[in-house]
Structure 1
Amino acid sequence: MNPTIKDVAKKANVSIATVSRILNEQKGYSAKTKERVMEAINELGYQPNAVARGLINKRTQTIGILFPDVSSMFSADILKGIEEVAHNRGHSIVVCHTGESGNRMMEYLQLLNEKRVDGIIFTSAVITEAYYKTLKEMKIPVVLVATQSYRFPLPYVKVDDKHAAYSAVSYLIQKGHRKIGMISGDMADKIAGRPRVEGYKQALEDHGISFDEKKLVVTPGFSFENGSGMLQKLLKQERDITAVFAASDELAVSAMSDAFEMGIHVPEELSIIGYDNLKVAEMSIPPLTTLAQPLYEMGKLSAELLLDMLVTGETVESRIIPHNIIERKTVKKVN
């Protein structure tokens, strides 16, 4: 016969109400009591009924996650972190692929509302007034990851994109490069496109290097496909570039592919640094030097903050996550 909550309460020498509060992450018990109850649960092999728990606390133990592109390596790393925390804390996830369509985003927000998710993690995209209005009407916690909003008061977890780009370009300058080009994402993208270009320009200015528009090419996005042919375009505009900062690892690997087709050796003839530290950076030949944002850790933290908000009912503080340079073999020191 399967153990019941009554069996757990008896073994831990507490009331059924106390076991229920612990299972539903409510207040009113000590750390020692929780430890005793959890030990009883593990020893008995008790499996709490999710439906019954939902009836008690009016929750579904489910969180929704909105990604513009669920197939990207960027999204996969964040999702892995979110899923680990959600699973460990007894929650399921519903993943929605919104694409670039505002209509599709609204459809998924409506779907998540109908499914009565307990909270939402919103990734990468810009929060519009329509999205915010819908989220507010749902009256559930929301945490942004790898994006932020100056206009709407939503907590976020992200790297400072401008500062991170500044660090990547400064690294190239410290290696002796002064003729530095950039392959950028969409400049209309206020989250990652424009800030990374601003970081590039600021690093040049602070090191006494004039910005030259010929050394910047802009793509529609951050994917490998977006970067195809961009290195050729950049070098056609300014041939004497010695280093390139690509606004994503996929753009950087695309540039390396173009360099191979053009007979340009990396890093002997051209240094390249990426942004993200995706798995593809390790797998490229040569391995890609890149600016790392800890996507897996960002996913974990966003889920922890969201679930904490569910327990406390209080809004959490936003978090700016540290970034760092991962040195591999695509940047050469020059005199």
Structure 2
Amino acid sequence: MKSTIKDVAKMANVSISTVSRVLNNPDIVAKDKRDKIVEAIKQLNYTPNALARGLIHKRTQTLGVLIPDISNLFYAELIKGMEDAARESGNNLIICNTDNNQDRKNASFKVLSEKQIDGIVFTSEPVFPDNYELFKQLGVPIVLAATHSLEYEIPSVKVNDEQAAFDATEYLIRQGHRQIGMISGSMLDPISGLPRIQGFLRALRTHGIELDPDTCIEYGSYHFKDGYEAVKRLHKKFPEMTAVFATSDERALGCISYLHENKIKVPDDISVIGFDNTRMAGMCFPKLTTVAQPLYEMGQLVIRKLDRMINGEPLEELRTYMDHWIEERETVYNLTK
């Protein structure tokens, strides 16, 4: 039979309220009594009721995380970092997959509200006014992961997508490439679409490379099949390209698959660079050179920021931009050699 707080109090010869104080604010209890209670808890293998403790502290130790597409490997390391940081701070995560659907997003917010979560992590998507209204209705701290909002004062953690895309394109240029194509998300996406396009074009301008965006850029979603179809269209209209910047690893792998099927060697004939440095980047053949994001560390920092907000502690900065780097592997050929 499971032990209760009454059993602990009886064994330690103290009141139930004293046991409760040890569980929730141990420093105010005399050491001798505290030691007796701790020993009784160990002997009885007593586990405090989480709901009861939540009522005492007016917290549930539960955080909600909204993910637009859980099947995307981008989120594996991000969530792992969140989970590890949550454990460190005594919190649990509820993961909600919104599937890029507004109705599912609204339903997720409703569930999280009913669960009385202590805070929310909102990932990847822009914060539109209707999202912000939902945030306000929930009345809990919010931190943005792999996205940000310049319109609203919401803490965020991400890389500088425009600069990262510039660095990826400049890396190709420094390898001797001037006929560079791009597979991108929509220009209407203000988080990872438009900024990466702007970074790509800025790098071309900086190095005096004149390419028509209508010719050298092809658009599509971030899935493998979208990358495959996008590079198919791109290669048809821009056959002289020697390199492709794909703005996600999954797009890049779709690109490599198409090139392989059409007897176009990577990197000998066309070089490919991706974006994210997900696990698949090091598993494919040839191994993918990519722009690396510190996804695990990003997940950790997001939860640590959120926990500080929940505890009423000040944040060192509102918007945090983490370092990125080029992870060199095997898919980019140096034309200058």
1:2-41 correspondence to structure 2 within 5 Å = 17=21, 19-21=23-25
Q: Which residue of 1 aligns with 2:66?
A: 66
Any conservation in 2 of the 1:309–1:316 contact (CA below 8 Å)?
Answer: no
Call closer, same or farther: CA 1:170–1:3 in 2, change over 3 Å. Answer: farther
1:201-220 correspondence to structure 2 within 5 Å = 201-213=201-213, 214-219=215-220
Any conservation in 2 of the 1:305–1:316 contact (CA below 8 Å)?
Answer: no
Any conservation in 2 of the 1:164–1:323 contact (CA below 8 Å)?
Answer: yes
Is 1:111 the counterpart of 2:104? The answer is no
CA-to-aligned-CA distance 1:205-243 (integer Å, 9 cap, x gap): 111112322111111x11112112222211211111111
What TM-score, normalized by structure 1, do the two folds share?
Answer: 0.88
Deviation at 1:112, TM superposition (A): 0.8
Q: Which residue of 2 aligns with 1:319?
A: 320
In 1, Cα distance between the equivalents of 2:108 and 2:4? 38
Q: Which moved more, 1:258-267 or 1:83-92?
A: 83-92
Q: Which residue of 2 aligns with 1:292?
A: 292
Deviation at 1:137, TM superposition (A): 1.9
Deviation at 1:279, TM superposition (A): 0.9
Q: Which residue of 2 aligns with 1:238?
A: 238
In 2, Cα distance between the equivalents of 1:75 and 1:42? 39
**What is the SS of the residue equivalent to 1:99?**
coil
What TM-score, normalized by structure 2, do the two folds share?
Answer: 0.87
Call closer, same or farther: CA 1:182–1:56 in 2, change over 3 Å. Answer: same
In 2, Cα distance between the equivalents of 1:245 and 1:114? 44
Q: Which residue of 2 aligns with 1:33?
A: none
Deviation at 1:47, TM superposition (A): 3.8
Deviation at 1:41, TM superposition (A): 11
**What is the SS of the residue equivalent to 2:261?**
helix
In 1, Cα distance between the equivalents of 2:62 and 2:182? 41
Q: Which residue of 2 aligns with 1:223?
A: 223
Q: Which moved more, 1:161-170 or 1:307-316?
A: 307-316
Deviation at 1:60, TM superposition (A): 1.1
* Over 3 Å off, 4+ runs: 1-8, 14-19, 39-48, 313-316
Is 1:251 the counterpart of 2:251? The answer is yes
Q: Which residue of 2 aligns with 1:310?
A: 310
**What is the SS of the residue equivalent to 2:71?**
coil
1:72-83 correspondence to structure 2 within 5 Å = 72-83=72-83
Is 1:192 the counterpart of 2:206? The answer is no
Is 1:328 the counterpart of 2:329? The answer is yes
Call closer, same or farther: CA 1:184–1:133 in 2, change over 3 Å. Answer: same
1:78-89 correspondence to structure 2 within 5 Å = 78-89=78-89
Q: Which residue of 2 aligns with 1:98?
A: 98
Deviation at 1:162, TM superposition (A): 0.4
**What is the SS of the residue equivalent to 2:25?**
helix
Whichever residue aligns with residue 219 of structure 2, its letter is V
In 2, Cα distance between the equivalents of 1:137 and 1:176? 53
In 2, Cα distance between the equivalents of 1:265 and 1:104? 42
Deviation at 1:42, TM superposition (A): 10
Q: Which one has a bigger Cα radius of gyration?
A: 2
CA-to-aligned-CA distance 1:6-39 (integer Å, 9 cap, x gap): 799x9xxx996465137xxxxx89xxxxxx9xx9
In 2, Cα distance between the equivalents of 1:211 and 1:164? 20
Deviation at 1:293, TM superposition (A): 0.6
Call closer, same or farther: CA 1:134–1:170 in 2, change over 3 Å. Answer: same
Whichever residue aligns with residue 308 of structure 1, its letter is R
Any conservation in 2 of the 1:63–1:117 contact (CA below 8 Å)?
Answer: yes
Q: Which residue of 1 aligns with 2:31?
A: none
Call closer, same or farther: CA 1:288–1:41 in 2, change over 3 Å. Answer: farther
In 2, Cα distance between the equivalents of 1:43 and 1:172? 61
Identity %: 40
Whichever residue aligns with residue 21 of structure 1, its letter is N
1:168-179 correspondence to structure 2 within 5 Å = 168-179=168-179
Whichever residue aligns with residue 323 of structure 1, its letter is H
Unaligned runs of 5+ in 1: 23-27, 30-35
**What is the SS of the residue equivalent to 2:120?**
strand
Whichever residue aligns with residue 329 of structure 2, its letter is R
Deviation at 1:129, TM superposition (A): 0.9
